[in-house]
Amino acid sequence: MLSRLCILTIAVAAFALPTAVAGAATPKPPKPGSTLKVTSTAYAGHQPTFTGAKTRHGICAVDPDVIPLGTRFRVPGYGICLAADIGGAVKGAFVDVWVKTERTALRWGVRTVTIRFL
């Protein structure tokens, strides 16, 4: 009996977790040409992204409650980004751009930028 309860608990958790992560109130995709003022930082490394995309120039971490995953936008001073990652510290109007080295990430610092959705 206990093993059936464990299996049921695991099955429920497996279906509930993606829903909880994705959020029930996923925002609508932004209209092309619209803008959003965000705080931006940079990160480096080759860890897997939340969506499974390889880290490379153009991959950015966002709060999916603000910018839906899969959204493309332009970041001044960086270029075109694909929202393909999330992060524990990425909350609200925040974009974390991927760069090749930690030194480049430190040079990027913390910036306030206005992104334009594509």
Concatenate the DSSP letters of all residues of 70-84 into one string. Answer: T-EEEETTTEEEEEE
CATH number at residue 70: 2.40.40.10
Inside any domain, residue 11 = no
Q: Would residue 89 count as lying in a domain?
A: yes
Residue 91 DSSP code: -
Judge whether 108 and 42 are in contact, CB under 8 Å. Answer: yes
Task: Give the residue from 87, 84, 81, 89 showing the smallest Cα distance to 113.
Answer: 81
Going by pLDDT thresholds of 50, 70 and 90, the confidence category of residue 47 is: confident
> Percent of the chain scored above 70 by pLDDT?
79
- What CA–CA distance (Å, rounded) separates 55 from 76? 20
Residue 39 pLDDT more than 80? yes
**What domain range is 94 assigned to?**
35-117
Q: Write down the pLDDT at residue 100.
A: 95
Q: Does 30 fall in a domain?
A: no
Chain centroid offset of residue 75 CA? 14
9 belongs to a structural domain: no
Residue 72 lies in a domain: yes
pTM assigned to the model? 0.74
Q: What is the domain count for the chain?
A: 1
